[in-house]
């Protein structure tokens, strides 16, 4: 039993070192998924995290030695071997809520993390379910905007039934065109990075997106693979990358344990 615990500790240590060690052609990149942020504890739920809970998580990540990366950084690593920092982690926020700019982004700046935000074209500058969304112009002109990477969460396929693009694949090409036609989209990753609504994707949707020139897609996968494993020269490793959903009930210490466990699994699989 002691030997098993010792082996587990060694594997965890290897996972934390291997992802971007000198000369490595593989990077293990955990991806966290957030949505909405609030200052009011009574409004917190599975998709809404309080500022205090977010700060606890960011502080824990910083103490544990994690360094934030963007999807563009991941593409650069796969395409040309551009180095990633030690213990890279990608933080994402879906739906483009105004709270990303008001609450999350200043905190990201404080702790030195970038944030990749997936926006819904039809929700831009609108109150959906009583929650305001930001515009691309507001994001670009935000005092902490340099920390923000904008990606696509579809224009109008974030349906209330939770089917996402799987509800009507035939409408995906037109939806892509509408997203790319948004004012300011050409200065973002909206035309290059696609985040699946509700994490739902199919082989057909992947074919459509790749043909349209998308270089990376993000999903939500459970089970065996919950962290992205990127490989230099392997474009396939950038598609339907898994993410780990995070809410306010996850304390900082627990978040680090989750990341270590998932990285350990990835290290075993690679071995």
Could you report the per-residue pLDDT of 70-125, keeping only the tens digit for each? 999 999 999 999 999 999 999 999 999 999 999 999 999 999 999 999 999 999 98
What pLDDT score was predicted for residue 21? 41
Task: Please work out, in degrees rounded to the nearest 5, the angle formed at the alpha carbon of residue 238 by the alpha carbons of 248 and 204.
Answer: 100
Measured between alpha carbons, how far is 125 from 123 in angstroms, rounded to an integer? 6
β pairing state of 48-50 and 228-231:
unpaired
pLDDT greater than 50 at residue 145:
yes
Helix, strand, coil distribution of the chain in percent, nearest 5: 45, 20, 35
Residues in the chain: 271
Choose between 133 and 266: higher pLDDT. Answer: 133
- The pLDDT, as a whole number, for residue 159 is 87
113 close to 69: Cβ distance less than 8 angstroms: no
Q: What is the pLDDT of residue 14?
A: 42
- Please give the C-alpha separations between residue 9 and each of 6, 56, 88, 264, in angstroms, as whole numbers: 5, 25, 20, 9
Local structure of 81: helix, strand or coil: coil
Contact 198, 11 (CB under 8 A): no
Question: Among residues 102, 95, 114, 153, which one has the least CA distance to residue 31?
Answer: 114
In whole angstroms, give the CA distance from residue 266 to residue 271.
9
pLDDT band at 135 (very low <50, low <70, confident <90, very high): very high
| Burial of 245 (C-beta count, 10 Å sphere; 0-12/13-18/19+) | middle
Written as six digits, the tokens of 155 are: 């224009």
Cβ(148)–Cβ(137) below 8 Å = no
CA 67 to chain centre: 14
| HEC string for 124-181 | CCCEECCEEECCHHHHHCCCCHHHEEEEECCCCCCCCCCCHHHHCHHHHHHHHHHHHC
3-state secondary structure of 191: coil
pLDDT tens across 223-246, in order?
A: 667 899 999 999 999 999 999 999
Residues 6+ apart with CB under 8 A from 40: 50
Reply yes or no on whether the pLDDT at 162 is more than 80: yes
Q: What is the mean pLDDT of the chain?
A: 90
What pLDDT, on a 0 to 100 scale, did the predictor assign at position 270?
A: 58
The answer, as to whether pTM is greater than 0.75, is yes
Using alpha carbons only, how large is the chain's radius of gyration in Å? 18
What SS3 state is found at 84? coil
Contacts of 10 (CB under 8 A, 6+ apart): none
**80, exposed or middle or buried, with CB in 10 Å at 0-12, 13-18, 19+?**
exposed
Banded model confidence at residue 201, pLDDT cuts 50, 70, 90: very high
Please name every residue paired with 231 in a beta bridge, in sequence order, or none if there are none: 26
In 67-124, which ranges are continuous DSSP H helix? 71-80, 99, 105-111
């Amino acid at each position: 039993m002691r030997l098993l615990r010792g082996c587990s500790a060694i594997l965890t240590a290897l996972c934390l070192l291997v992802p971007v060690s000198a000369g490595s052609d593989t990077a293990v990149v955990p991806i966290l998924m957030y949505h909405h942020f609030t200052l009011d504890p009574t409004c917190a739920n599975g998709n809404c995290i309080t500022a205090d809970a977010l700060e606890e998580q960011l502080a824990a990540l910083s103490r544990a030695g994690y360094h934030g990366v963007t999807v563009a950084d991941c593409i650069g690593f796969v395409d040309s071997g551009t180095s990633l920092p030690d213990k890279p982690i990608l933080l994402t926020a879906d739906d483009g809520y105004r709270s990303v700019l008001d609450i999350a982004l200043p905190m990201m700046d404080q702790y030195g993390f970038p944030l990749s935000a997936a926006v819904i074209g039809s929700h831009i500058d609108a109150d959906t379910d009583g929650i305001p969304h930001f515009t691309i112009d507001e994001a670009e002109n935000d005092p902490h905007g340099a920390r923000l990477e904008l990606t696509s969460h579809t224009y109008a396929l974030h349906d209330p039934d939770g089917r996402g693009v799987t509800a009507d694949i035939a409408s995906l090409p037109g939806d892509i065109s509408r997203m790319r036609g948004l004012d300011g989209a050409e200065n973002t990753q909206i035309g290059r990075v696609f985040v699946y609504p509700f994490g739902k994707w199919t082989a057909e949707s992947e074919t459509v997106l790749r043909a349209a020139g998308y270089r990376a897609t993000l999903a939500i996968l459970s089970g065996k693979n919950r962290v992205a494993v990127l490989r230099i020269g392997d474009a396939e490793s950038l598609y339907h990358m898994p993410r780990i959903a995070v809410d306010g009930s996850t304390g900082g210490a627990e978040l680090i344990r989750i990341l270590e466990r998932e990285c350990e699994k990835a290290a075993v699989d690679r071995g």
